Amino acid sequence: MSSSDSRKVASGLGRKRVGAAILLGALSLSGGRALESRSPVEATVPGARARIDAAGVARIVGAANPTLSARELDRIGGAVLRYSAKYAIDPELVTAVLLVESGARPWVRSPKGAMGLMQVMPEMLEPMALAGNSTTIESNVEAGCFILAHNIRRLGEAEGISAYFWGNDIRGDGYLQRVQARRAEVRRLLDADA
């Protein structure tokens, strides 16, 4: 199928299907290796801080949701650092998206069916064949990082962040502004800890 045919097909699909089509396309372009691991050295992120660590992410997430156990906070912090490095995106951005999307609640489900910390639609997870279910902390964070990184590579950072919420039909910048405000808050909290 040509890229123009793909666009025509995608334009006729709903937002959920467009997202799944994008994910499947990315997987097929990479020969199914989209989830291949990279070391943190290979996954350097321009503008990312070297001092953000899993404990820092856990402190910020724990402040947003004090009901999380120490084990859950460790898992969230580790997942954010591991998968932001794997997909070469800023862990502060991933933390901000996680806070905006779910309020740091791994069990939350939106009225439209998005699930988990990163509010990933179940059909987006299916082609990735990740371990666990769609609300498993690690699987959900990895899927969210993959989708966010793919959007940013395709569209640039601002539109890529907006597309995480809107899909291909971006209808405003309110979501982008919320994520940018949370990212600035994450940075202030990290600076206060330093």
Per-residue pLDDT of the chain (194 residues; tens, 9 = 90+): 444 333 333 333 344 444 444 443 444 333 343 333 333 323 345 455 456 899 999 999 999 999 999 999 999 999 999 999 999 999 999 999 999 999 999 999 999 999 999 999 988 877 776 766 777 999 999 999 999 999 999 999 999 999 999 998 999 999 999 999 999 999 999 988 77
The amino acid occupying position 110 is S
CB 143 within 8 A of CB 125: yes
74: its two tokens: 């460790």
Q: How far apart are CA 131 and CA 54, in angstroms?
A: 21
Is the pTM above the cut of 0.85? no
DSSP 8-state secondary structure symbol assigned to residue 114: -
If we measure between CA atoms, which residue out of 92, 88, 83, 81 comes closest to residue 153? 88
- For domain 39-193, the question of CATH label 1.10.530.10 is answered with yes
Cβ neighbours for 145, distance < 8 A, ≥ 6 positions apart: 83, 84, 86, 87, 89, 94, 118
DSSP 8-state secondary structure symbol assigned to residue 94: H
Backbone angles phi, psi at 115, to 5 degrees: -130, 150
